């Protein structure tokens, strides 16, 4: 499950320019030119440990450093061979035997064997690794021989034969697999099975991966991939236009039209099930919300005060769709149809009526409501994610929506790492963030169970019926029946009015066509070309005309957290123009 932050058109008044060489044709140690792809992004890395990481940039790195036992087809997400060349069904939904490819090696030359596969599944299950347990909780892996492993589930598993975890090198990770070290290991060993492996990491500046000579599908045409972090999305756009980076993820919505007009740039609005939400603290953590939030009528009123349509139009420039409820898989088929008359649609007058009838009234005439029976004004603590360029705008919007119905709001700022801690502790009333789910809905669904309290259950919400249905869908192999169960689960979340999906958020990306060719959308025709479910583009890209990529030796815009001199004028000019605004691997 990928926690993610979005870029959506915030206007920045001042850019700081610093100099770096983003040479795509670099001198290799053998005197040849290295082919380097430079990708810009606007969200920093928190950790490179696949056991605990939760941000989209981290999943992108793991997607190309580690290969799964199975993979996902670029066009339709169907299971395809990964480390396993083939598999055979022993008992449908229960047991499968996987045969590894011939002569598999980790990037350091160590053989990849069935023992690596079994160790990952059994150890992550026994130690309950945070990012693995929802997938492996019922699985047992048994080594048949060096190339063959049998995986058996204790209950029918609709996800099989797909086993959607990152398989780590046992000889590197086994010493780290203790309760004291597994979550603190930095994951920077640079040993993997994918097309590229980590070679250098500069926190909040850049991350470099180099081609894996032992990759089973052959060494990629690109020698090096550099991910460069920009704390300022407009600086990233300028770098793309100037040819200093080859591709960009998290492009501001307001920049897409200008980029599309450049004959050397292609823009992509990729759909893969992502959504953004405003979540309420539902009180299951130690830290408690304002008591009003625990009243479903109060929450329903606040839902009616949130203008999803207007916010989507303002923030996304027509590139996103307002959401009805959350999406739990990459395919929006998992979103149930909710009749219009049962939706908590924007209606501030109805919101006021509900509050009045529930006793939340303004007794002293200062414009803000109190709890039934009087007392202090209701003030909601809204957590603003400062690592998201939508964090501030959504926070301002939320405050305005609430003020319009007589509810006061205080805006408290946190970076994404701090915010994750605030959510776990329950020391908030509302927050804004977003998710990009996996293909299968199980992981997203698991995050709303009682078992995930103190971890990924970010609304601190529990529901006994929901947990029963979660266990039922986990073992339902009939796809039609499972779809019905998932729809019921999502409807329970919606009806409890504590998790307000704002919009189905596209991944806004752009890439230069004069550097590399071979980008593929996942899924076909509608998905992103990078930062996707299995990120196939990197291994397929080739230089245009055989030339190097990366923009040559130019003066570039390096705007990252390390560029402390960056001066960003607040959002006043942007609010004057648009009128208004914001919490995933955990994307």
pTM (two decimals): 0.81
Measured in whole angstroms, the distance separating CA 393 from the mean position of its chain's CA atoms is 20
pLDDT of residue 387: 86
Residue 150 has pLDDT above 90, yes or no: yes
Q: Are 138 and 154 in contact (CB under 8 A)?
A: yes
- In percent, the amount of the chain with pLDDT more than 90 equals 82
Q: Average pLDDT, whole number, for the chain? A: 88
Q: How far, in Å, are 289, 297, 444, 450, 546 from residue 285 at the CA level?
A: 9, 21, 19, 11, 56
CB-based contacts of 28, cutoff 8 Å, min separation 6: 34, 223
Q: Does an H or E element contain 170, and which? A: helix 170-173
Name residue, tokens 């490179």: 48
Q: Are 97 and 108 in contact (CB under 8 A)?
A: no
Q: Give the pairing of strands 33-41 and 25-27.
A: antiparallel
Among 32-36, 510-514, 524-528, the least confident range? 32-36
Q: What is the DSSP letter of 51?
A: T
Residue 5 has pLDDT above 70, yes or no: no
Burial category of 286 from C-beta neighbours within 10 Å (exposed 0-12, middle 13-18, buried 19 and up): exposed
- Residue 279 — φ and ψ, nearest 5°? -110, 145
Residue 23 has pLDDT above 50, yes or no: no
The pLDDT tens digits for 249-271 are 999 999 999 999 999 999 999 99
Q: How far, in Å, are 64, 274, 483 from residue 135 at the CA level?
A: 20, 20, 18
Helix 308-316 / helix 391-404 crossing angle, nearest 10 deg: 150
Residue 232 has pLDDT above 60, yes or no: yes
217 CB-side CA count, 13 A: 19
**Structural domains of the chain in order of their starting residue, each with its CATH number:** 17-65+194-270+509-566 (3.40.190.10), 70-176 (3.90.76.10), 275-505 (3.10.105.10)
pLDDT of residue 25: 39
d(CA 440, CA 436): 12
d(CA 456, CA 56): 15
Q: What is the DSSP letter of 317?
A: T
Q: Say whether 136 sits in a helix, a strand or coil.
A: helix
Average pLDDT over residues 187-198: 98
pLDDT of residue 32: 53
Q: Are 56 and 585 in contact (CB under 8 A)?
A: yes
Which tokens in the block code for residue 249?
């993820």
Q: In what order do the strands lie in the sheet with 139-145?
A: 84-91, 95-100, 148-153, 139-145
d(CA 263, CA 520): 19
Among 2-11, 98-107, 283-292, 477-486, the least confident range? 2-11
The pLDDT tens digits for 42-88 are 999 999 999 999 888 999 999 999 999 999 888 888 899 999 999 99
Q: Are 174 and 194 in contact (CB under 8 A)?
A: no
Residue 281 has pLDDT above 60, yes or no: yes
Picking from 323, 317, 346, 343, the residue whose alpha carbon sits closest to that of residue 404 is: 346
Q: Say whether 408 sits in a helix, a strand or coil.
A: strand
Q: What is the DSSP letter of 292?
A: G
Task: Please report which confidence band the pLDDT of residue 547 belongs to, taking 50, 70 and 90 as the band edges.
Answer: low
pLDDT of residue 427: 96
CB-based contacts of 190, cutoff 8 Å, min separation 6: 107, 197, 198, 199
The pLDDT tens digits for 362-387 are 999 999 999 999 899 999 999 999 98
Average pLDDT over residues 290-308: 98
Q: Are 561 and 44 in contact (CB under 8 A)?
A: yes
pLDDT of residue 77: 87
One DSSP character per residue, 492-555 reads HHHHTT-EEEEEE--EEEEEETTTEE----SSTTTS-SSSSSS--HHHH-EEGGG---S-SS-B
Picking from 185, 395, 161, the residue whose alpha carbon sits closest to that of residue 278 is: 395
Q: Say whether 474 sits in a helix, a strand or coil.
A: helix
Picking from 314, 281, 255, 251, the residue whose alpha carbon sits closest to that of residue 503 is: 314
pLDDT of residue 388: 85
Average pLDDT over residues 337-366: 97
Rg, C-alpha atoms of the chain: 24
């Amino acid at each position: 499950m990928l926690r993610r932050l979005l870029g959506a058109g915030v206007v920045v008044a001042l850019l700081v320019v610093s100099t770096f060489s983003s040479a795509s044709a670099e001198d290799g140690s053998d005197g040849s030119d290295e082919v380097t792809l430079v990708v810009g992004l606007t969200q920093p890395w928190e950790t490179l440990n696949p056991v605990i990481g939760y941000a989209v940039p981290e999943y992108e790195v793991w997607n190309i450093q580690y290969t799964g036992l199975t993979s996902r087809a670029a066009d339709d997400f169907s299971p395809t061979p990964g480390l396993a060349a083939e598999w055979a069904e022993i008992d449908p939904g229960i047991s499968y035997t996987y045969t590894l490819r011939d002569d598999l090696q980790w990037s350091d030359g160590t053989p990849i064997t069935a023992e690596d596969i079994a160790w990952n599944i059994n150890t992550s299950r026994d130690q309950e690794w945070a990012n693995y347990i929802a997938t492996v909780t019922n699985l047992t892996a048994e080594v048949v021989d060096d190339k063959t492993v049998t995986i058996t589930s204790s209950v029918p598993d609709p996800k099989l034969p797909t086993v959607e975890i990152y398989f780590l090198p046992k000889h590197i990770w086994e010493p780290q697999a203790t309760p004291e070290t597994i979550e603190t290991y930095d994951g920077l060993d640079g040993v993997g099975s994918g097309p590229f492996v980590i070679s250098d990491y500069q926190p909040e500046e850049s991350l470099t991966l180099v081609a894996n000579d032992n990759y089973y599908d052959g060494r990629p045409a690109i020698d090096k991939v550099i991910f460069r972090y920009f704390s300022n999305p407009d600086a990233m756009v300028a770098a793309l236009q100037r040819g200093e980076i080859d591709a960009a993820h998290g492009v501001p919505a307001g920049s897409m039209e200008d980029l599309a007009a450049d004959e050397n740039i292609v823009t992509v609005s990729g759909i893969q099930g992502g959504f953004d939400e405003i979540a309420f603290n539902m009180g299951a953590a130690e830290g408690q919300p304002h008591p009003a939030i625990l009243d479903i009528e109060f929450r329903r009123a606040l839902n009616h005060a949130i203008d999803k349509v207007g916010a989507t139009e303002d923030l996304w420039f027509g590139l996103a769709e307002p959401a009805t409820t959350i999406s739990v898989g990459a395919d929006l088929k998992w979103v149930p149809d909710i009749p219009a008359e049962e939706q908590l649609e924007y209606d501030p007058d109805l919101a006021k009526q509900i509050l009045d009838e529930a006793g939340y009234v303004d007794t002293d005439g200062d414009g803000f409501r109190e709890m039934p029976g009087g007392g202090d004004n209701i003030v909601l603590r809204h957590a603003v994610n400062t690592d998201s360029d939508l964090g501030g705008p959504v926070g301002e919007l939320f405050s305005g929506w609430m003020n319009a119905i007589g509810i006061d709001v205080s805006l408290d700022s946190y970076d994404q790492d701090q915010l994750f801690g605030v959510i776990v502790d329950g020391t908030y009333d509302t927050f804004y963030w977003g998710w990009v789910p996996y293909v299968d809905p199980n992981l997203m669904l698991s995050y709303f169970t009682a078992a995930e309290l103190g971890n990924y259950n970010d609304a601190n919400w529990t529901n006994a019926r929901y947990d029963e249905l979660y266990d039922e869908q986990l073992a339902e192999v009939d796809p039609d029946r499972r779809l019905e169960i998932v729809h019921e689960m999502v409807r329970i979340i919606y009806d409890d009015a504590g998790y307000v999906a704002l919009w189905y958020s596209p991944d806004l990306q752009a890439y230069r066509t004069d550097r590399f060719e071979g980008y593929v959308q996942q899924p076909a025709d509608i998905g992103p070309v990078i930062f996707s479910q299995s990120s196939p583009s990197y291994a397929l890209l080739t230089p245009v005309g055989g030339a190097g990529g990366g923009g040559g030796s130019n003066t570039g815009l390096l705007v990252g957290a390390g560029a402390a001199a960056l001066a960003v004028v607040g959002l006043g000019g942007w609010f004057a123009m648009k009128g208004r605004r914001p919490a995933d691997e955990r994307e």
